[in-house]
Homo-oligomer: A and B are copies of this chain.
């Protein structure tokens, strides 16, 4: 159901489609409307959606929780996308938001972990530009296996730029960074109730963008629903699985409630369940194993990074989905999209 919105005399045409604004290749990318649509798709791609309406709703969810992070997302997506435009990247990839989502997350992560000031702002812009180089490098590296980069450029860029503040006296970390220490064995902490599960469920979706807010999580879920019913369902199933695995294994109640065990599972569930494979019984079991493993890998990476005081971010999702994608050609029961 596409509507012809505008046809310019120079053969440019903008059309409103089910996934947002579609612009013909001849249109200058820097035309404001087209650029905004690209930014929104960049935001949506954080949850693997190529849909500018979803991006807009995600942005509303973030602004609902924090204007600072809302602005961070806009600046980060714009900075990384602009770097790609300046270096003349193939327009189709830019227009799908593929050079925006890492920048969006880098900017939020840096402003989540570092105190905001003018120096930090410049630092964020450089980090977001670098995330575009990183994205391009991984595109070349992974082309052989047709493997998606997922959010790897974001994770590694953020890790570097946050870790560096241990040497840079003019950058100050917020109290959101884990304290550096040696990992110790855990004990069961707190009692899991219905409210833990429900808050954990929505916080898990919200934490994909570093937001600890149940309403924001619900808004994100609506954004997913607008883009894809399957993405909506798998995200909820993923978040719930993360909560249940963590509960079953005796993770700390506050961590379960905060969504810490959920956000990687949300992304794994969306990716395996609704993006890269055709859903059938075999895939459902495969996806469930992937999501359960994601919760374990989250616990492991979070412990492994404790001596350097760094968070796991979305590394568990990236590693598990890479493995389950790479493995799939060996398993004839599974069918790739």
Residues of chain A touching chain B, judged by Cβ–Cβ distance below 8 Å, are: 86-90, 119, 123, 126, 129-130, 133-141, 144-145, 159-173, 180-189, 246, 248-252, 255, 282, 286, 289-290, 292-293, 296-297, 299-304, 306-309, 322-334
> B159 touching A300 by the CB < 8 A rule?
yes
Are B330 and A136 closer than 8 Å at their CB atoms? Answer: yes
Closest to A173 in B: B185
* Cα distance, A169 to B130, chains bound together (Å): 39
Q: Bound complex: CA of A141 vs CA of B328, how far in Å?
A: 11
Q: Which of A250, A251, A297, A300 has the most CB of B within 10 A?
A: A300
* Beta-carbon contact of B185 and A165 below 8 Å: yes
Inter-chain contacts of A162 with B (CB < 8 A): 300
Q: Are B160 and A186 in contact (CB under 8 A)?
A: no
**CA separation between A329 and B303, bound complex, in Å?**
37
Least Cβ–Cβ distance between A290 and chain B, in angstroms: 8
Oligomer copy total: 3
Contact B289 A133 (CB under 8 A): yes
A67 to chain B, nearest CB (A): 26
- Bound together, the chains give a CA A245 to CA B167 distance in angstroms of 12
- Asked whether B137 lies within 8 Å of A170 as measured between CB atoms, the reply is no
Tell me which residues across on chain B come within 8 A of A166, comparing CB atoms: 183-186, 299, 303, 306
B187 contacts A133, C-beta separation under 8 Å: no
**Interface contact A292-B126, CB-CB below 8 Å:** yes
Cβ distance A144 to chain B, nearest Cβ, rounded Å:
6
Contact between chains at B303 and A306 (CB < 8 Å):
no
Chain B residues with CB under 8 A of A329? 140
Partner of A126, one of B159, B171, B289, B328: B289
Q: Which residues of B contact A138 (CB under 8 A)?
A: 326
Q: Which of B136, B250, B303 contacts A326 (CB 8 A)?
A: B136
**Do B130 and A141 touch across chains, with their CB atoms under 8 A apart?**
no
CB distance from A296 to the nearest CB of B (A): 5
A327 to B133, CA, bound (A): 6
Residues of B within 8 A of A129 (CB): 289
Extra inter-chain contacts (14) besides given A168-B186, A307-B308, CB under 8 Å:
A86-B333, A87-B286, A87-B330, A89-B331, A161-B300, A163-B303, A165-B186, A166-B299, A167-B251, A167-B299, A168-B249, A169-B249, A169-B252, A170-B250
